[in-house]
Structures are given as structure tokens and as C-alpha cells.
Amino acid sequence: MRVEIASEGVVNWVGFRIYNTGRSERHGCVWLSVEVRDSEFWRLEPVRTGEFQKQTTVSGRIRCPRWILPRAGGDYGGTVIYLRYIFRGSGGDFTETLEKAPAKLNLSLDTPFHHHDGSEEWDMVLTSVDLADYVAVKTLGRNGRIKVTTDSGFLPNDHRNLAYQAAHLLATTYGRKEAMNIHIEKHIPVAAGMGGGSSDAAAVLRALNRLWELNLDQATLCQLGLQIDADVPYCVCSQTAHVTGRGEIITQLPKLPPMWVVIAKPKISVSTPSILRRINYDEVRHADTQSLVAAIQRGDYDEICDSVENVLTPITSRLYPTVNHLKEQMVRFGADVAEMSGTGPTVFGICRKQSRAQHVANGLSGFCREVHVVRPVSLHTDFAQPSASV
């Protein structure tokens, strides 16, 4: 099945449509709930119950407060609209939900030391942007295996996929044996230093927490996520934060001041382990992450730009000179600062105004095919009240 949700252009209404795309005959009813969440509003409302046969659709609309309606062009900003529907009929019962998985950027990245087990200690400031994958998770109501599909030919569909690992981890931890299908609609570049795989895994953790009604708090999901990858705990939250430890200590920060971000992904892929193995802690020039944290707390755009830094950039750029070239070109075209995200090779530039960001993107289009103009966002999520702070 496939779901679409979009503004109908009518004040206070958001429309939806569910398509029956299954190969087998399905006769029965669909129970649909639409959950809309932002910082001020939370709602769970049954919208439509109706007969659902093969090659037919169920459609309808939900009334929403005007301030959370999507903007023109389907831009939902920081608002997240979750879809959850249950089918009961001859084709079997299932429950499905759709999760947004935003890309992350490292505004600051430092690694002060290695732990004895070889893992890195991190000192980072991360933010999320409105470039996102969409992860549909369907539980089938019977015992079976985990199946992962994607519209990208660059991702594995087995245990190597982080989304698969997230589903397997949660099922094993809480004794669930239900079959499930996970479909990932990719928009975040692969192997780009933007946490696409980690964000997909975090989306699966959030989705199954909701579908299975586990009521796990944010701290628990973050601890589980750390077993998958160091970026997963942050991606569970996907809100601007100061991240330390092995990636599990997350201190949320205020919303960033208004800004636009130009993202450029050159046509190369970087192996994160290969970069981390090249770190020489005797030579690393450590970043002043605290200055960036203070600038964000004050909402000072200029100081934020002055404090952006990634200690891994010299390592990656020695192997891939394109990284430094992109940084130089971004600044030349008008970005206030440019830096690499994660282990690369993606480079981002920050601009105060959209017009300047678009000018930078246009300038880069001649020698970098994958360029995006985005904004920082916060993914508002619903968790049980935490028993301990993250």
C-alpha cells in the first residue's frame, strides 16, 4: 500500500489518500489515524473507516489548526504528520506507519580521545535539515522475518542495513517475533557524512516503539540506538544538540537563528572507518565546541559562523581534495562559512538569506551535480516521560 498526504489548498484542512497497491486480493476495511505533532499541538483522530478492495483507494481529510498547515509545495517545515492505518480483511491484518528521517549536519565535530575499546569520544554540535528519507514500517500480525526494500540501488537490504539492525535489535530485546516490511524512500545521499543510514535506523526505532506500544522513553531509545551506530542516538531526537560521550549524551540546544544551508555532495563516497583510522591524536587541532554552544544559546548568527569547525576535514581533504575545493567555492560564491559534515565528503555552506543561498547553489551547479538548499529543522517526536535525562 502507498500513502500520500498533502495540503488541499483549503484553510485548516490536510488531505490524505491510501492506495491499494498489493498484488493479492484485499477485501476489508481500513481504520486510519492521523497524528499531527508540533511544539504546541498533539492530536490523534480516527479519520475514515471504509471498504477497501483491490485497485481502490481510501481518501479523506483532517481539520488542523491553521498554524501547522503545510506551506505551498508540500513544505511541512518542522511539523511532522504521522500516518497510522490498520487493515483487516481477507488479505490479512497489518499496521503501518510512515516516519520522516531527516539528514544531520555537524556544525562542530571534535574527537578528544580514543576509549580503551577503540571507540571515539565525541564532542559535537549537530543539527537536522529538511532533506529527509521516508521510512514506512509495516507489521504483519504474524510470525516471520524482517524484509527491507528501498528505491536506492546503493543500499543493502539485509543485516548490513542499519534499519534492519534497528528492527532486529528492538524485536530481540522485547521478544517480538512479528514479520515486518520496511521500505526506505531515499533522498539523503549515501556515504555522504549526513547520517542517512543512522536516521533511517532511528526512524525504525521510533516507528516500532509506536506500533508495538512499547512506550519507551527517549533515553532508552538512544541507548538502544548506540548499539547500532554512534549517530543513531542523536537521530532519534533530530533536534539541534550538543553531543558527547560515544554519542549517547545529548544536550538539546535552542533553535538556530534564521539561516539557509547549501549542501553539496561530490561524486565520491567516503568510508567512515577508513577516516577514523587515520586520526593522529597527537596532531589533531581540537575544535572550540563550547564557543559554538554559547553562540547558539545566544542566537548569535555571526558567532555561530565563526565557530563552525570539523577536525576531520584535513584528513578527508588529503585523500579527496575536492572537499577543500568545494569549501573555497562556497565562500567565493557568498556563503558566510563552509565546512565538511561528518567524515565527508559532503560540504555545507551557511547563508543568512535564501537568495544568497540560491546564488551559491547556482554557482556550484556547474561542477557538482548534487546540490540542495535547505533549512535547519527540529523533528518533534512523542515519547513516554523519561525516567532519566539523556
Please report how many Cα atoms fall inside a 13 Å half-sphere around the Cα of residue 385, on the Cβ side: 0
Which residue in 287, 275, 293, 244 sits closest to 121, CA to CA?
A: 244
- Please measure the distance between the N-terminal and C-terminal CA atoms of the chain and give it in whole angstroms: 36
Say how far residue 109 (Cα) sits from the centre of its chain. Answer: 18
The DSSP 8-state label assigned to residue 224 in this structure reads H
3-state secondary structure 11-39: CCEEEEEEECCCCCCCCEEEEEEEEEECC
User: Cell for 17?
Assistant: 489518500
- Residue 230 · residue 111 · CB < 8 Å: no
Backbone angles phi, psi at 34, to 5 degrees: -115, 125
User: H-type helices in the chain, by residue range?
Assistant: 162-173, 196-211, 218-226, 232-237, 272-276, 289-298, 301-307, 313-319, 322-333, 354-364
The vertex-238 CA angle with 281 and 350, nearest 5°, equals 70
**Residue keyed to cell 537563528:** 257
What are the distances in angstroms from CA 320 to CA 165, 196, 289, 345, 349? 30, 21, 25, 8, 18
> How far apart (Å, rounded) are the C-alpha atoms in residues 242 and 248?
10
Burial 320-351 (b: 16+ CB within 10 A, else e): bebbbebbebbeebbbbbbbbbbbbbbbbbbb
- Residue 270 · residue 257 · CB < 8 Å: no
* Residues labelled catalytic: 104, 231
